[in-house]
Structure 1
Amino acid sequence: MNVHAVRAIYGFEMARTLRTVTQSIVSPVLSTSLYFVVFGAALGSRIQSVDGVSYGAFIVPGLVMLSLLTQSIANASFGIYFPRFTGTIYEILSAPISAFEIVAGYVGAAATKSIVLGLIIIATSALFVPLHVEHPLWMLVALVLTSVTFSAFGFVIGIWADGFEKLQLVPLLIVTPLTFLGGSFYSIDSLPSPWREVAYLNPVVYLVNGFRWSFLGHADVPPEVSFGMTLAILALCAGLIAWIFRTGYRLKT
């Protein structure tokens, strides 16, 4: 494995984050804090508890997951799209570095940014609500696994997009609505039939509930199903990336 090449790509992407720390870190944290203020003030006073915990503590995993999914996709998609836009992608493709090492550098950097952002948001949420993590180790596993999975998904989007507007198309029109409808702010079990059954067709439901289980110790979906769904999405993204490099889809044209 060409460690120096992976480190060079990883270091370049992390340096770009440090140059845009306001956009990459501060802005998502402030946006999430506003969610706490709005939902905590508007709904928290009317909803005393959900599944035995305060409403503010209940929505913490959903808010973290909302930021995690959108930022992972945004970081990874822009990271690989910009070299395609400027033409420097050909220098990377002609270098003595494998497809796996290219993906490891870009996806690893995007996932690292998302993990740091997630930890900052969790620490910030403790300022607004009493926070307790029932399974801290599994919380970290879910955080890392989700960040890597959706950074890989963002890498696919960055290859697929042929314009800057398409980079925001999937996160804004698909991922964000699915996250809001995926039980981020409510329990799926509280929905009436048939909407409850329809909600379980949403893959984000499993991601949110897996993360929520690590905080609360219980969720609408068993944790093994949630982690299995995350691994399935990761496997799908890995298959798409392998196909992209094998066929040269939008990399060589």
Structure 2
Amino acid sequence: MNLYAIKAIYRFEMARAWRTLTQSIISPVLSTSLYFVVFGAAIGSRIPEVDGVSYGSFIVPGLIMLSLLTQSISNASFGIYFPRFTGTIYEVLSAPVSYLEIVIAYVGAAASKSLILGVIILATAGLFVDIRIEHPFWMVLFFVLTAITFSLLGFIIGIWADGFEKLQLVPMLIVTPLTFLGGSFYSINMLPPFWQTVTLFNPVVYLVSGFRWSFYGIADVSPALSLGMTVFFLLACIGLVAWIFKTGYRLKP
């Protein structure tokens, strides 16, 4: 394992995040704070509690998950797309660095930035509402697995995209709507039976439900099923990344 190469790529990607601090950290935190103000004040006054938890506290895991998914994809997709756009990716591919080391460096940096942002949002949420974490180990596990999984998805999108506009296509048109419809701001038990069944086909439901269970011990689906689905998504992304490097898809001219 070439740890020096991994460290070099990782540090370069992390340094880019600090150079774009407003876009990488400040903007998502402000956006999440606005969600608290709007949803907490406007809707929270009409829905005092959900499953015994105040509405403001109930939406915290969903807001963190929303930021985690979108930022993981954004960080990883841009991180690998920009070297492809400038042509520097071929220098990396021709260097004595294995494909595994490349993925670890780029995905690790994207996941790290997303986790830092998630922790900041969690701390910010504590200024607005009371938060408790009943299962801290499982919270960290869901947190890390989700960041890695969607950073891998972002890595895949960054290789697939052939233009800057495509980098935002999947996050804006697919991931964000699925997150809003995945129980981030409500319990799916509040929906009519038919829509509850339809919602179970939304993969984000399992991520949000498992993450919320780690906070308050309440869940829309079994925590074991949530963990299983998260691991399944992770393995699927790993398999797709392995196929990309094996075939050279969008990497070889």
Please give the alpha-carbon distance, in whole angstroms, between the structure 1 residues aligned to 2:60 and 2:109.
25
| 2:42 paired residue number | 42
Shift of 1:108: 0.1
Mapping of residues 209-248 of structure 1, within 5 Å = 209-248=209-248
Cα deviation code 1:165-204 (max 9, x no counterpart): 0000000000000000000000011110211000000000
TM-score, length-scaled by structure 2: 0.99
Please give the alpha-carbon distance, in whole angstroms, between the structure 2 residues aligned to 1:142 and 1:195.
26
| 2:135 paired residue number | 135
Please give the alpha-carbon distance, in whole angstroms, between the structure 2 residues aligned to 1:172 and 1:234.
21
Amino acid at match of 1:65: M
Amino acid at match of 1:17: A
Please give the alpha-carbon distance, in whole angstroms, between the structure 2 residues aligned to 1:228 and 1:97.
32
Mapping of residues 1-253 of structure 1, within 5 Å = 1-253=1-253
Work out the number of aligned pairs and report it.
253
Amino acid at match of 2:69: L
Amino acid at match of 1:157: I
Shift of 1:25: 0.5
Cα deviation code 1:60-89 (max 9, x no counterpart): 000000000000000000000000000000
Name stretches of at least 5 consecutive residues in structure 1 with no aligned partner. none
> What SS class does the counterpart of residue 171 from structure 1 fall into?
helix
Cα deviation code 1:105-154 (max 9, x no counterpart): 00000000000100110010010001111111211111111000000000
Please give the alpha-carbon distance, in whole angstroms, between the structure 2 residues aligned to 1:36 and 1:98.
44
Please give the alpha-carbon distance, in whole angstroms, between the structure 1 residues aligned to 2:122 and 2:134.
14
Please give the alpha-carbon distance, in whole angstroms, between the structure 1 residues aligned to 2:98 and 2:189.
46
What is the alpha-carbon root mean square deviation over aligned residues? 0.5
Amino acid at match of 1:62: G
Please give the alpha-carbon distance, in whole angstroms, between the structure 1 residues aligned to 2:77 and 2:247.
19
Please give the alpha-carbon distance, in whole angstroms, between the structure 2 residues aligned to 1:148 and 1:16.
19
Amino acid at match of 2:144: V
> What SS class does the counterpart of residue 129 from structure 1 fall into?
coil
Please give the alpha-carbon distance, in whole angstroms, between the structure 2 residues aligned to 1:137 and 1:235.
21
